[in-house]
Amino acid sequence: MKNYSNTFYEILNCTRSLIIAGGYNGFSYADISEFVGIRKASIHHHFPTKVDLVRTLVMRYRQEAEAGIGEIERHCPAPEDQLRAYTGYWQSCIGDATKSYCVCALLATQIPVLPKEVVVEVRTHFLALSAWLTSVLERGAKQGAFMLSGEPRAEAEAFMATVHGAMLSARAYGDPAMFDMITLPLIDRLVTKQ
């Protein structure tokens, strides 16, 4: 595994914050240079182009998401608890302007203007998240913990879209409580009353 410098990670963290604040076209290397306190040439040393930078950011974001899902799986064996841990993670992020929105969800809204290399990474994130949510819903249904109204994959897509929509609503209203108002009933509707 390659060893990266602190500057590499500072650039990525800054880029993540800038994308959340203004999207793909809302920042430049000059912005990163100013925030991180390095020359633009140093940024180009790590990431020759903006495409390289954002593609790397999304790949690392996906790795973080996969690790987070692995932690949820290890610490929350019950499917209901896994969904609550997933939405709980985002609930804890909503008040933090640097993490309050899923980078891939935000970039997905900009697919028409994104380079194809970035689009591939964003779609890969959504496919992986959908597959995990589908497996959680399938397990919950098999265990009798969830009552699904449709196919697990369709339910997973609706769940994912609702969580991302809840992030958007919380942002639009400037009210973090909006996220819980939308997501808590989402899980409650799935849970069978025994």
Q: Both ends of the chain: CA-CA distance in Å?
A: 48
Per-residue pLDDT at 2 = 58
Q: 52-104, pLDDT tens digit by residue?
A: 999 999 999 999 999 999 999 999 999 999 999 999 999 888 877 666 688 99
Is the four-CA dihedral 22, 24, 25, 29 of positive or negative sign?
positive
Lowest pLDDT segment from 27-36, 99-108, 114-123, 151-160: 99-108
Mean pLDDT of the chain: 92
* Percent of the chain whose pLDDT exceeds 90: 85
Q: 90-110, pLDDT tens digit by residue?
A: 988 887 766 668 899 999 999
Per-residue pLDDT at 98 = 63
Per-residue pLDDT at 185 = 93
Q: Could you give all domains of the chain from N- to C-terminal order, each with its CATH number?
A: 57-190 (1.10.357.10)
Q: What's the predicted TM-score (pTM) here?
A: 0.90
Burial degree of 132 (CB within 10 A; 0-12, 13-18, 19+): buried
Per-residue pLDDT at 79 = 97
Between CA 36 and CA 27 the distance in angstroms is 13
Name beta bridge partners: 191: 146
Name beta bridge partners: 146: 191
Q: 10-44, pLDDT tens digit by residue?
A: 999 999 999 988 999 999 999 999 999 999 999 99
- Does the structure show a pLDDT above 90 at 48? yes
Per-residue pLDDT at 101 = 80
Q: How confident is the model at residue 1 (pLDDT cuts 50, 70, 90)?
A: very low
Burial degree of 27 (CB within 10 A; 0-12, 13-18, 19+): buried
Is the four-CA dihedral 85, 91, 96, 100 of positive or negative sign?
positive
